[in-house]
Amino acid sequence: MRQFFICLLGSISLSFVSAQTTATFESFGLAPDNFLDGGDNSGGFSDGNVFLPNSYNFDYGSWSGWAISSMTDTLTAGYTNQFSAITGGGYDDSDTYAVTFASPFSNLILTEGAAGGTVEGLYVTNNTYAYLSMLNGDSFAKKFGGETGDDPDFFLLTIKKYLNGTLSTDSIDFYLADYRFEDNSQDYIVKEWTYLDLTALGDADSLQFSLTSSDVGQYGPNTPAYLCLDQITTLDVATPVKDYLTDVAVRIFPNPTAEQVTVHWPQHQTGNALLLDAQGQIIKREQLFSGDNQIGMQELPAGPYRIRIQSEDGFLTRQIIKQ
Protein backbone atom coordinates (compact mmCIF):
# COMPACT_ATOMS: atom_id res chain seq x y z
CA MET A 1 0.00 0.00 0.00
CA ARG A 2 2.76 2.39 0.99
CA GLN A 3 4.63 1.56 -2.24
CA PHE A 4 1.48 2.32 -4.20
CA PHE A 5 1.30 5.86 -2.80
CA ILE A 6 4.98 6.46 -3.47
CA CYS A 7 4.47 5.37 -7.09
CA LEU A 8 1.41 7.58 -7.39
CA LEU A 9 3.25 10.62 -6.04
CA GLY A 10 6.12 9.89 -8.36
CA SER A 11 3.90 9.73 -11.41
CA ILE A 12 2.16 12.97 -10.45
CA SER A 13 5.46 14.76 -9.98
CA LEU A 14 6.59 13.65 -13.41
CA SER A 15 3.75 15.56 -15.02
CA PHE A 16 4.72 18.88 -13.33
CA VAL A 17 7.82 21.06 -13.37
CA SER A 18 8.90 22.04 -9.87
CA ALA A 19 10.43 25.43 -10.77
CA GLN A 20 11.40 27.70 -7.88
CA THR A 21 11.61 31.45 -8.12
CA THR A 22 12.87 33.66 -5.31
CA ALA A 23 12.16 37.35 -4.98
CA THR A 24 15.27 38.88 -3.35
CA PHE A 25 14.57 42.53 -4.31
CA GLU A 26 18.25 42.95 -5.13
CA SER A 27 17.26 43.58 -8.75
CA PHE A 28 16.14 47.08 -7.78
CA GLY A 29 19.81 47.95 -7.38
CA LEU A 30 19.34 50.20 -4.38
CA ALA A 31 22.47 51.70 -2.89
CA PRO A 32 22.65 51.32 0.90
CA ASP A 33 20.28 53.50 2.94
CA ASN A 34 17.78 54.11 0.19
CA PHE A 35 14.19 53.19 -0.35
CA LEU A 36 11.49 53.17 -3.00
CA ASP A 37 8.13 54.31 -1.68
CA GLY A 38 6.20 54.44 -4.95
CA GLY A 39 6.83 58.13 -5.53
CA ASP A 40 7.48 57.31 -9.20
CA ASN A 41 3.80 56.27 -9.51
CA SER A 42 4.80 52.74 -10.48
CA GLY A 43 1.84 51.28 -8.61
CA GLY A 44 3.98 48.58 -7.06
CA PHE A 45 7.08 46.46 -7.28
CA SER A 46 7.65 43.24 -9.23
CA ASP A 47 10.43 40.83 -8.44
CA GLY A 48 10.68 37.09 -9.00
CA ASN A 49 7.12 35.96 -9.35
CA VAL A 50 5.55 38.35 -6.87
CA PHE A 51 4.03 41.78 -7.19
CA LEU A 52 3.91 44.14 -4.19
CA PRO A 53 1.22 46.80 -4.71
CA ASN A 54 1.92 50.38 -3.69
CA SER A 55 -0.30 53.41 -3.64
CA TYR A 56 1.31 56.80 -3.44
CA ASN A 57 -0.66 59.88 -2.50
CA PHE A 58 0.92 62.87 -4.20
CA ASP A 59 -1.31 65.31 -2.33
CA TYR A 60 -0.03 64.10 0.99
CA GLY A 61 3.40 62.80 -0.09
CA SER A 62 2.60 59.52 1.58
CA TRP A 63 2.40 55.86 0.66
CA SER A 64 0.58 52.72 1.54
CA GLY A 65 1.05 49.08 0.62
CA TRP A 66 4.68 48.11 0.11
CA ALA A 67 8.05 49.79 -0.17
CA ILE A 68 11.48 48.47 -1.17
CA SER A 69 14.32 49.37 1.17
CA SER A 70 18.04 49.08 1.74
CA MET A 71 17.97 51.13 4.94
CA THR A 72 20.41 50.04 7.64
CA ASP A 73 19.37 52.16 10.64
CA THR A 74 18.75 49.94 13.68
CA LEU A 75 18.94 52.71 16.28
CA THR A 76 16.58 55.53 15.38
CA ALA A 77 13.13 55.26 16.90
CA GLY A 78 9.98 56.70 15.40
CA TYR A 79 8.30 56.90 12.05
CA THR A 80 11.11 58.88 10.48
CA ASN A 81 12.85 55.49 10.38
CA GLN A 82 9.89 53.56 9.01
CA PHE A 83 11.82 51.94 6.12
CA SER A 84 14.48 50.15 8.19
CA ALA A 85 14.63 46.52 9.26
CA ILE A 86 15.98 45.83 12.74
CA THR A 87 18.51 43.48 11.16
CA GLY A 88 20.17 46.43 9.41
CA GLY A 89 19.83 44.85 5.96
CA GLY A 90 18.27 42.04 3.97
CA TYR A 91 18.45 38.33 4.66
CA ASP A 92 21.91 36.72 4.59
CA ASP A 93 23.68 40.09 4.48
CA SER A 94 21.90 41.11 1.31
CA ASP A 95 21.16 44.78 0.82
CA THR A 96 17.52 44.97 -0.11
CA TYR A 97 14.22 43.85 1.35
CA ALA A 98 10.54 44.73 1.31
CA VAL A 99 8.66 46.76 3.94
CA THR A 100 4.91 46.93 4.41
CA PHE A 101 2.46 48.63 6.72
CA ALA A 102 -0.03 45.88 7.41
CA SER A 103 -2.85 47.65 9.18
CA PRO A 104 -5.42 46.41 8.71
CA PHE A 105 -3.62 44.25 6.13
CA SER A 106 -1.54 44.27 2.98
CA ASN A 107 -1.44 41.85 0.05
CA LEU A 108 1.29 40.25 -1.99
CA ILE A 109 0.23 39.04 -5.45
CA LEU A 110 1.67 35.99 -7.15
CA THR A 111 2.44 36.45 -10.81
CA GLU A 112 3.66 34.58 -13.86
CA GLY A 113 4.07 30.89 -13.21
CA ALA A 114 3.57 31.34 -9.49
CA ALA A 115 0.01 32.61 -9.84
CA GLY A 116 -2.26 30.01 -8.45
CA GLY A 117 0.72 28.11 -7.12
CA THR A 118 2.25 27.53 -3.76
CA VAL A 119 4.51 29.88 -1.87
CA GLU A 120 7.22 27.77 -0.36
CA GLY A 121 8.33 30.26 2.23
CA LEU A 122 9.78 33.63 3.06
CA TYR A 123 11.88 35.43 5.66
CA VAL A 124 10.38 37.96 8.05
CA THR A 125 11.73 40.30 10.68
CA ASN A 126 10.65 43.36 12.59
CA ASN A 127 10.86 46.86 11.30
CA THR A 128 13.14 49.11 13.40
CA TYR A 129 10.33 51.55 14.22
CA ALA A 130 8.10 48.74 15.47
CA TYR A 131 10.92 46.94 17.28
CA LEU A 132 12.07 49.98 19.25
CA SER A 133 8.48 50.97 19.99
CA MET A 134 7.80 47.55 21.52
CA LEU A 135 11.12 47.54 23.36
CA ASN A 136 11.04 51.07 24.78
CA GLY A 137 7.56 52.45 24.23
CA ASP A 138 6.87 55.78 22.54
CA SER A 139 4.43 58.67 22.79
CA PHE A 140 1.58 56.50 21.54
CA ALA A 141 2.49 52.89 22.15
CA LYS A 142 3.48 50.99 25.26
CA LYS A 143 6.70 49.14 25.85
CA PHE A 144 5.82 45.47 25.87
CA GLY A 145 5.34 44.11 29.35
CA GLY A 146 3.73 47.39 30.40
CA GLU A 147 4.35 49.26 33.65
CA THR A 148 5.17 46.13 35.63
CA GLY A 149 6.83 44.07 32.91
CA ASP A 150 4.15 41.39 33.36
CA ASP A 151 1.62 42.40 30.70
CA PRO A 152 1.09 39.47 28.29
CA ASP A 153 1.77 41.53 25.18
CA PHE A 154 2.23 40.18 21.70
CA PHE A 155 2.71 41.29 18.10
CA LEU A 156 1.30 38.67 15.79
CA LEU A 157 1.75 38.22 12.05
CA THR A 158 -1.07 36.33 10.33
CA ILE A 159 -0.71 35.17 6.73
CA LYS A 160 -3.71 33.99 4.73
CA LYS A 161 -4.17 33.34 1.05
CA TYR A 162 -6.63 34.30 -1.65
CA LEU A 163 -7.47 31.68 -4.25
CA ASN A 164 -10.07 32.39 -6.90
CA GLY A 165 -11.24 35.38 -4.96
CA THR A 166 -11.80 33.54 -1.70
CA LEU A 167 -9.86 34.31 1.45
CA SER A 168 -8.73 31.22 3.29
CA THR A 169 -9.75 30.50 6.85
CA ASP A 170 -6.49 28.68 7.51
CA SER A 171 -3.52 30.85 8.29
CA ILE A 172 0.13 30.80 9.22
CA ASP A 173 0.64 32.65 12.51
CA PHE A 174 3.98 33.95 13.72
CA TYR A 175 4.72 36.04 16.81
CA LEU A 176 7.05 38.90 15.97
CA ALA A 177 7.05 39.63 19.70
CA ASP A 178 5.75 37.48 22.53
CA TYR A 179 5.59 38.55 26.15
CA ARG A 180 3.01 36.03 27.24
CA PHE A 181 5.42 33.77 29.12
CA GLU A 182 5.06 33.29 32.86
CA ASP A 183 8.81 33.65 33.05
CA ASN A 184 9.53 37.15 31.79
CA SER A 185 13.06 36.14 30.83
CA GLN A 186 11.55 34.15 27.96
CA ASP A 187 9.82 37.20 26.49
CA TYR A 188 11.24 38.17 23.12
CA ILE A 189 10.98 40.52 20.17
CA VAL A 190 12.23 39.07 16.89
CA LYS A 191 15.35 40.83 15.64
CA GLU A 192 16.71 38.29 13.14
CA TRP A 193 15.45 37.19 9.77
CA THR A 194 13.23 34.20 10.46
CA TYR A 195 12.08 31.69 7.86
CA LEU A 196 8.38 30.88 7.61
CA ASP A 197 7.31 27.77 5.72
CA LEU A 198 4.09 28.63 3.90
CA THR A 199 3.52 25.42 1.99
CA ALA A 200 0.71 24.50 4.34
CA LEU A 201 -1.34 27.30 2.80
CA GLY A 202 -1.35 25.46 -0.53
CA ASP A 203 -2.09 27.07 -3.87
CA ALA A 204 -2.77 30.79 -3.86
CA ASP A 205 -3.34 33.79 -6.09
CA SER A 206 -2.16 36.20 -3.43
CA LEU A 207 -1.16 36.33 0.22
CA GLN A 208 -2.66 38.58 2.84
CA PHE A 209 -0.49 39.83 5.71
CA SER A 210 -2.05 41.31 8.82
CA LEU A 211 -0.51 42.40 12.11
CA THR A 212 -2.31 42.44 15.42
CA SER A 213 -1.03 43.79 18.69
CA SER A 214 -2.12 43.43 22.29
CA ASP A 215 -1.63 47.21 22.62
CA VAL A 216 -4.97 48.35 21.27
CA GLY A 217 -6.83 51.53 22.10
CA GLN A 218 -9.91 53.35 20.94
CA TYR A 219 -8.06 54.29 17.76
CA GLY A 220 -6.96 50.72 17.05
CA PRO A 221 -3.50 49.16 17.38
CA ASN A 222 -0.83 51.41 18.85
CA THR A 223 2.15 49.26 17.91
CA PRO A 224 3.41 50.50 14.53
CA ALA A 225 2.15 47.76 12.17
CA TYR A 226 5.25 47.50 10.01
CA LEU A 227 6.79 44.28 8.73
CA CYS A 228 9.89 43.43 6.70
CA LEU A 229 10.09 40.52 4.21
CA ASP A 230 12.83 39.02 2.10
CA GLN A 231 13.61 35.89 0.02
CA ILE A 232 10.05 35.03 -1.04
CA THR A 233 10.27 31.66 -2.73
CA THR A 234 7.43 30.57 -4.99
CA LEU A 235 6.85 27.26 -6.71
CA ASP A 236 5.60 27.14 -10.30
CA VAL A 237 4.23 23.69 -9.89
CA ALA A 238 0.53 24.18 -9.74
CA THR A 239 0.01 24.04 -13.52
CA PRO A 240 1.04 21.30 -15.95
CA VAL A 241 3.44 22.84 -18.46
CA LYS A 242 1.64 21.47 -21.47
CA ASP A 243 -1.57 23.24 -20.40
CA TYR A 244 -0.10 26.57 -19.56
CA LEU A 245 -1.14 29.39 -21.84
CA THR A 246 1.61 31.53 -23.23
CA ASP A 247 0.99 35.19 -23.77
CA VAL A 248 2.48 35.14 -27.24
CA ALA A 249 -0.91 34.79 -28.78
CA VAL A 250 -3.03 36.39 -26.06
CA ARG A 251 -2.57 40.14 -26.08
CA ILE A 252 -3.83 42.50 -23.40
CA PHE A 253 -3.70 46.22 -24.14
CA PRO A 254 -3.43 49.13 -23.52
CA ASN A 255 -1.54 48.99 -20.23
CA PRO A 256 -1.73 51.21 -18.30
CA THR A 257 -5.26 52.18 -19.21
CA ALA A 258 -7.70 54.84 -18.17
CA GLU A 259 -10.99 53.42 -19.47
CA GLN A 260 -10.92 49.87 -20.78
CA VAL A 261 -8.62 47.05 -21.59
CA THR A 262 -8.76 44.89 -24.71
CA VAL A 263 -8.05 41.18 -24.57
CA HIS A 264 -7.17 39.69 -27.94
CA TRP A 265 -8.26 36.03 -27.77
CA PRO A 266 -6.74 34.00 -30.65
CA GLN A 267 -8.51 30.72 -30.06
CA HIS A 268 -11.78 29.46 -31.49
CA GLN A 269 -13.13 28.02 -28.28
CA THR A 270 -14.33 30.52 -25.71
CA GLY A 271 -12.31 31.49 -22.68
CA ASN A 272 -12.88 33.44 -19.51
CA ALA A 273 -11.32 36.61 -18.20
CA LEU A 274 -11.37 37.46 -14.48
CA LEU A 275 -10.51 40.97 -13.33
CA LEU A 276 -9.10 40.95 -9.79
CA ASP A 277 -8.25 43.82 -7.49
CA ALA A 278 -5.05 44.20 -5.48
CA GLN A 279 -6.53 42.07 -2.72
CA GLY A 280 -7.15 39.20 -5.16
CA GLN A 281 -10.91 39.60 -5.11
CA ILE A 282 -12.81 39.06 -8.37
CA ILE A 283 -14.37 42.29 -9.60
CA LYS A 284 -15.54 41.23 -13.08
CA ARG A 285 -15.94 38.02 -15.00
CA GLU A 286 -16.20 38.18 -18.82
CA GLN A 287 -16.48 35.48 -21.48
CA LEU A 288 -13.87 35.72 -24.23
CA PHE A 289 -14.69 35.15 -27.86
CA SER A 290 -12.27 34.86 -30.73
CA GLY A 291 -10.85 38.30 -31.55
CA ASP A 292 -10.81 41.47 -29.46
CA ASN A 293 -12.82 41.58 -26.24
CA GLN A 294 -13.27 44.80 -24.23
CA ILE A 295 -13.40 44.94 -20.46
CA GLY A 296 -14.48 48.31 -19.04
CA MET A 297 -12.51 49.76 -16.15
CA GLN A 298 -13.84 53.34 -16.16
CA GLU A 299 -15.64 53.02 -12.85
CA LEU A 300 -12.70 51.49 -10.99
CA PRO A 301 -10.34 53.48 -8.80
CA ALA A 302 -6.78 53.95 -9.99
CA GLY A 303 -4.30 51.30 -8.97
CA PRO A 304 -2.99 47.87 -9.82
CA TYR A 305 -5.32 45.10 -11.00
CA ARG A 306 -4.82 41.67 -12.47
CA ILE A 307 -6.46 39.92 -15.38
CA ARG A 308 -6.58 36.18 -15.22
CA ILE A 309 -7.28 34.48 -18.57
CA GLN A 310 -8.34 30.89 -18.42
CA SER A 311 -9.60 28.26 -20.80
CA GLU A 312 -9.57 24.51 -21.06
CA ASP A 313 -5.89 24.76 -22.04
CA GLY A 314 -4.76 26.56 -18.91
CA PHE A 315 -4.45 30.13 -17.71
CA LEU A 316 -2.23 33.12 -17.48
CA THR A 317 -2.25 36.22 -15.31
CA ARG A 318 -1.18 39.74 -16.17
CA GLN A 319 -1.05 42.93 -14.16
CA ILE A 320 -3.00 45.96 -15.40
CA ILE A 321 -2.55 49.45 -14.07
CA LYS A 322 -5.65 51.60 -14.01
CA GLN A 323 -4.73 55.27 -14.28
Partner 1 sequence: MRQGNTGWRPNGAPLPRPGLPTDLSSWHCSVSQPEGTMPAFIHLFAVCLLLSLPLFSVAQIDTLLQLPTVEISETSVRSQVTGGRTRNWDRADLRAFAHTNLAEWLGQQSGLYIKSYGSGSIATTSIRGGSAAHTSVLWNGLPIPSPMLGQLDFSLFPLGFIDRAQLTYGGNSAAWGSGAIGGVLSLSNEMPGDSTAGLDLRSTLGSFGFQDYQLSGYYRQGRLGFQTRLFYRSADNDFRYRIRPDLAEQVRTHAALQQSGILQSAYWKPDARQQLSIHVWAQQSDREIPPTTVQNQSLATQADRFIRTALHWKRIGPQMIWQARLGLFREIIDYRDEQIRLQALTGFWTTQAEVSGSRAWNGNHHLQFGITHNWVTARADAYARPPEQNRTAPFLVYRYHLGDWTLQFNLREEIVDGKLQPLVPGLGLEGPVSRHLRFRAKVSRNYRLPTLNDLYWQPGGNPDLLPESGWSQEAGLEWRAVTGAHSWSLGITAFNRHIDNWILWSRPDGQSFWSSNNITKVWSRGLEYRAEWGWRSSDWQLQLSTAYDYIRSTNEIGITSPKLERGEQLIYVPEHQAFGQARLQWRQLQLQYRHTYTGPVGSLNVGQLSGYDLGSTGLTYHLEKSNWGSRLYLQINNLWNVPYRVIERQPMPGRHFQLGLQLYFRRPTGSQVHQPIP
- The site for partner 1 (CB under 8 A) is made up of 37, 39, 55, 57, 59-64, 67, 76-82, 101, 103, 129, 135-140, 142-143, 146-148, 215-220, 222, 224-226
25 neighbors 98 (Cβ within 8 angstroms): yes
Q: How far is the CB of 171 from partner 1 (least distance, A)?
A: 22
Q: Kindly state the smallest distance separating residue 187's Cβ from partner 1, in Å.
A: 15
As beta bridge partners, residue 314 has 311
Q: 250 vs 173, 238, 255, CA distance in Å?
A: 39, 21, 14
Q: Which of these, 34, 42, 206, 53, lies nearest to 119 by C-alpha position?
A: 206
Nearer Cβ to partner 1 (109/235)? 109
Which of 76, 184 has the CB closer to partner 1?
Answer: 76
Closer residue to partner 1 (CB): 70 or 234 = 70
> Closest approach of Cβ 23 to partner 1, in Å?
21
- Judged by beta carbon, residue 134 or residue 263, the one nearer partner 1 is 134
CB 145, min distance to partner 1, A: 8
Pick the closer one to partner 1 by CB: 273 or 297: 297
Q: Which is nearer to partner 1, 49 or 69 (CB)?
A: 69
48-to-9, 93, 110, 187, 310 alpha-carbon distances in Å: 28, 19, 9, 36, 22
Least CB distance to partner 1 at residue 167 (A): 16
DSSP collapsed to 3 states, the chain: CHHHHHHHHHHHHHCCCCCEEEECCHHHCCCCCCEECCCCCCCEEEECCEEEEEEEECCCCEEEEEEEECCCCCCCCCHHHCCCECCCCCHHHCCCEEEEECCCCEEEEECHHHCCCEEEEEEEECEHHHHHHHHHCCCCCCCCCCCCCCCCCEEEEEEEEEECCEECCCCEEEEEEECCCCCHHHCEECCCCEEEECHHHCECCEEEEEEEECCEECCEECCCCEEEEEEEEEECCCCCHHHCCCCCCCEEECCCECCEEEEEECCCCCEEEEEECCCCCEEEEEEECCEEEEEECCCCCCEEEEEEEEECCEEEEEEEEEC
Residue with Cβ nearer partner 1 (140 or 289): 140
To the nearest whole angstrom, how small is the minimum distance from the Cβ of residue 126 to partner 1? 15
Question: Smallest distance from the beta carbon of 30 to partner 1, in angstroms?
Answer: 14
Q: Which is nearer to partner 1, 146 or 152 (CB)?
A: 146
Q: How far is the CB of 197 from partner 1 (least distance, A)?
A: 28
| Smallest separation, CB 33 to partner 1 (Å) | 13
Q: 141 or 320: whose CB is closer to partner 1?
A: 141
